[in-house]
């Protein structure tokens, strides 16, 4: 048989016919019609992206394509890095936005119900998210690990594990009778002094979280909570920032109210989440400290019929000034990260945030960079993500048309690749 195979090979070569090449499944070539360079803030013409084992090994115009590579032809598309969302809640029940509804479900139910949420966000083009807490502690850790193992489909997740909040604070489940006792996982992040904050953070680190989330002020979507009110003290915020830093983690701080915002900046927060009532002094501090603002602008459009009336009233009262303040933040040169608070709005519609950003002072390129290179810097992953560059992970998306002309095209992503694996193709 070996002699016959060799004879067949000799005859084939002698006939002048080319031998069929075996495809190298570890190499993918992506032909991009246009490519958005999110480091330089410019759109390039046709580019070739060469990917091996999920990593970009080269990118440029007129590159030679490796023989036998899988070819993905996106010549009619604009290609961007996979988008990032720095403020998500993938384990929230979008269908019932009253936190008291958590008492009707087990943590296991919440974990399983989050699976379609993760899938929807990935297929919308968001390949990386920073998930900032769950009412049921550590459910987000379980979801992250399931995605990493390949058990379920979803974005790359950096998770907080639980909200670090004062007793009865903005990150707590409130509004129930005083003689009821919550299960352990609904007050896992409770802390009421600098020493308790440090203890909570150490415990969360032992559960392998990626980021720490604290509450400096009250919240709109919490019963009996005033968004303008101070909650964590400056000393508690300082302890949180120091302890997070000790473990190589960053601190994200929920803050609507003016004084809470400024206390969190001074304490060393990496980002202010929402920043609704930001004043000029706060903006100056943001610029001086290099603190990111993650504004979550679309939330104001989503607090409606499936929310308690108390939440709707607070949203109408407090969020009326948010867009005006955001315009001032942009003009002042505050660093802006992209985050949606998705879960408050329907999963998979994350990209609607771009239009709100552009309508209120950002250029389309600035908005796109906020969800790519800026978020990569905020999340501490700029060495791996945030741009289509040699040596970075192959997270790519594509849209038809030019999102610099019409940023709403990002609401209709046609191609999604995460670390070299294609999850969606037109």
Residues whose CB falls within 8 Å of the CB of residue 316, separated by 6 or more in sequence, listed in order = none
Same domain for 310 and 400?
no
| In the chain, % of residues over pLDDT 70 | 94
Asked if residue 379 is part of any domain, the answer here is no
pLDDT at 4: 40
Same domain for 26 and 36?
yes
Residue 25 — very low, low, confident or very high, per pLDDT cuts 50/70/90?
A: low
* The pair of three-digit structure tokens given for residue 339, joined into one six-digit string: 């985050």
Sign for the pseudo-dihedral over CA of 399, 405, 407, 408:
negative
How many angstroms separate the CA atoms of 393 and 395, rounded?
6
How many angstroms separate the CA atoms of 191 and 195, rounded?
8
Residue 12 — very low, low, confident or very high, per pLDDT cuts 50/70/90?
A: very low
Asked if residue 256 is part of any domain, the answer here is yes
Q: What is the DSSP letter of 257?
A: S
Residue 304 — very low, low, confident or very high, per pLDDT cuts 50/70/90?
A: confident
Same domain for 417 and 313?
no
Asked if residue 11 is part of any domain, the answer here is no
Per the rule left: phi > 0, alpha: psi between -120 and 50, beta: everything else, 51 is beta
Asked if residue 7 is part of any domain, the answer here is no
Q: What is the pLDDT of residues 364-403, one digit of tens each?
A: 999 999 999 999 999 999 999 999 999 999 999 999 999 9
The whole-number average pLDDT for the span 171-194 is 93
pLDDT at 62: 85
The whole-number average pLDDT for the span 3-13 is 39
The whole-number average pLDDT for the span 102-112 is 92
Same domain for 95 and 65?
no
Residue 2 — very low, low, confident or very high, per pLDDT cuts 50/70/90?
A: very low
Q: What is the pLDDT of residues 114-165, one digit of tens each?
A: 999 999 999 999 999 999 999 999 999 999 999 999 999 999 999 999 999 9
Same domain for 173 and 276?
yes
3-state helix vs strand vs coil in the chain, percent to 5? 35, 25, 40
Asked if residue 365 is part of any domain, the answer here is no
Same domain for 49 and 174?
no
The whole-number average pLDDT for the span 40-47 is 98
User: Smallest Cα–Cα separation from 276: which of 251, 259, 252?
Assistant: 259
Final residue before a domain boundary, out of 321, 350, 379: 350
Asked if residue 108 is part of any domain, the answer here is yes
pLDDT at 14: 36
Torsion angle of alpha carbons 44, 356, 221, 141, nearest 10°? -10
Same domain for 110 and 201?
yes
Asked if residue 372 is part of any domain, the answer here is no
Asked if residue 3 is part of any domain, the answer here is no
Q: What is the pLDDT of residues 306-346, one digit of tens each?
A: 899 999 999 999 998 999 999 999 999 999 999 999 999 99
Count how many residues are written for the chain.
426
Same domain for 62 and 105?
no
What domain range is 286 assigned to? 83-350
Same domain for 54 and 87?
no
DSSP string, 294-327: E--TTHHHH-STTS-HHHHHHHHHHGGGHHHHHH
pLDDT at 31: 98
Same domain for 301 and 415?
no
Q: What is the pLDDT of residues 246-268, one digit of tens each?
A: 999 999 999 999 999 999 999 99
Number of domains making up the chain: 2
3-state secondary structure of 80: strand
């Amino acid at each position: 048989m070996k002699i016959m195979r060799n004879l067949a090979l000799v005859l084939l070569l002698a006939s002048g016919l080319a031998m069929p090449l075996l495809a190298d499944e570890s190499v993918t070539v992506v032909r991009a019609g246009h490519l958005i360079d999110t480091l330089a803030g410019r759109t390039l013409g046709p580019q070739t992206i060469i990917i091996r084992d999920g990593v970009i090994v080269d990118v440029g115009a007129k590159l030679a394509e490796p023989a036998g590579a899988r070819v993905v032809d996106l010549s009619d598309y604009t290609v961007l890095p996979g988008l990032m969302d720095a403020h998500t809640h993938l384990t929230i029940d979008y269908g019932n936005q009253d936190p008291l509804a958590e008492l009707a479900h087990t943590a296991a139910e919440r974990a399983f119900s989050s699976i379609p949420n993760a899938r929807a966000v990935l297929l919308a083009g968001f390949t990386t998210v920073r998930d900032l807490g769950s009412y049921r502690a550590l459910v987000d850790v379980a979801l992250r690990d399931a995605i990493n193992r390949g058990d379920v489909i979803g974005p790359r997740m950096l998770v907080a594990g639980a909200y670090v909040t004062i007793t009865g604070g903005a990150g707590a489940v409130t509004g129930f009778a005083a003689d009821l006792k919550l299960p352990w996982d609904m007050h896992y992040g409770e802390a009421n002094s600098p020493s308790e904050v440090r203890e909570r953070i150490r415990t969360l680190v032992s559960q392998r979280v990626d980021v720490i989330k604290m509450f400096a002020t009250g919240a709109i979507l919490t019963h009996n909570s005033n968004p303008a009110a101070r909650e964590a003290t400056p000393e508690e915020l300082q302890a949180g920032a120091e302890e997070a830093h000790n473990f190589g983690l960053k601190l994200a701080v929920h803050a609507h109210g003016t004084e809470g915002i400024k206390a969190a900046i001074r304490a060393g927060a990496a980002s202010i989440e929402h920043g609704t009532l930001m004043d000029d002094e706060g903006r100056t501090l943001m610029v001086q400290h290099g603190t990111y603002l993650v504004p979550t602008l679309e939330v104001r459009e989503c607090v409606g019929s499936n929310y308690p009336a108390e939440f709707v009233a607070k949203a109408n009262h407090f969020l009326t000034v948010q867009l005006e303040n955001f315009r001032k933040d942009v003009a002042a040169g505050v660093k802006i990260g992209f985050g949606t608070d998705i879960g408050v709005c329907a999963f998979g519609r994350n990209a609607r945030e771009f239009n709100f950003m552009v309508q209120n002072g950002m250029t389309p390129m600035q908005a796109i960079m906020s969800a790519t290179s800026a978020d990569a810097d905020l999340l501490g992953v700029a060495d791996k993500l945030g741009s289509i560059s040699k040596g970075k992970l192959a997270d790519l998306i594509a849209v038809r048309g030019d999102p610099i002309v019409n940023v709403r095209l990002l609401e209709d992503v046609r191609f999604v690749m995460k670390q070299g694996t294609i999850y969606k193709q037109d």
